[in-house]
Amino acid sequence: MTLTYKRVLLKLSGESLMGPRGFGIDSSRLQHYAAEIQSLVGLGVEVAVVIGGGNIYRGLQAEESGIERVQGDYMGMLATIINGIALQGALEKAGAFVRLISAIEMKEVAEPYIRRRAIRHLEKGRVVIFSGGTGSPYFTTDTTAALRANEIGADILLKGTRVDGIYSADPERDPAATKYDKLSFRNVISEDLNVMDMTAFTLCRENGVPIIVFDINESGNLIKIVQGEELGTLVS
């Protein structure tokens, strides 16, 4: 079997874990993601994952609650560690070997981030979950995903969302929105297509890491992408 992408970084939002609940972690959604990731491992794909924390706490909520932005960002980073632990458990139940890595030292729960060690885990067929953001405030998990994808030499950054690609407007609000199959980084930035933040896009553009935005909730999409099928929107 020919694989178009041998090493991938999958970015999942914390909100994607909520499912229909509107908060917290939906067990059926968690198991779905674990099964999708494990299907890639079964093909011999090296998989790293960055997951957000928006289902528990977003740093940007801090202003509304009167919490200082920096403190709020750290709270959001801790939320990503909670989600990372949940995903680790679901993946292990699905039969995967997993290493949870945190940018914030928490040795009883996760390994500290050491680039060479993370790459070695991938080479040994282990799923690597990067949690704790970058370890610094003012950076989103999109930026974390772009940074880690570059650091580990990922062939592609896969951003799993609720919709099947990038649109000219929010397709859940605007029925006239049109879907893009392919975009350049220049197009995304000039048209201000708000799918990932500009820091993440810039990191990927400067280092030649393409991005595919796709529907993660459709079973089998991950396998189709790594086998070269054109799904979602490719930004390169």
**Cα–Cα distance for residue pair 110/96, rounded to 1 Å:** 17
Count helices and strands (H / E) in the chain.
8, 11
pLDDT of residue 92: 97
Q: Residue 8 — very low, low, confident or very high, per pLDDT cuts 50/70/90?
A: very high
The tally of domains found in the chain comes to: 1
What average pLDDT does the chain have? 91
Which run of H or E residues covers position 50? strand 46-51
Tell me if 177 is assigned to some domain: yes
Query: Is 1 inside a domain boundary?
Result: no
Q: Is 197 helix (H, G, I), strand (E, B) or coil?
A: coil
Residue 2 lies in a domain: no
Flag whether pLDDT at 197 surpasses 80.
Answer: yes
Residue entry with tokens 């994607």: 16
Neighbours of 25 (CB within 10 A): 18
What is the DSSP track for 79-114? HHHHHHHHHHHHHHHTT--EEEEESS--TTTSEE--
C-alpha dist (Å) from residue 103 to 10, 132, 185, 231: 17, 5, 28, 32
Q: What one-letter code names the amino acid at 32?
A: H
pTM: 0.94
CA distance 120 to 181: 34
- Under 8 Å between Cβ of 110 and 98: no
Domain containing residue 142: CATH number: 3.40.1160.10
Q: CB neighbours of 99 closer than 8 A, spacing ≥ 6?
A: 111, 118, 121, 126, 127, 128, 129
Write down the pLDDT at residue 113. 96
- Domain span at residue 223 reads 7-235
User: What pLDDT is attached to residue 51?
Assistant: 93
**pLDDT band at residue 59, thresholds of 50, 70 and 90?**
low
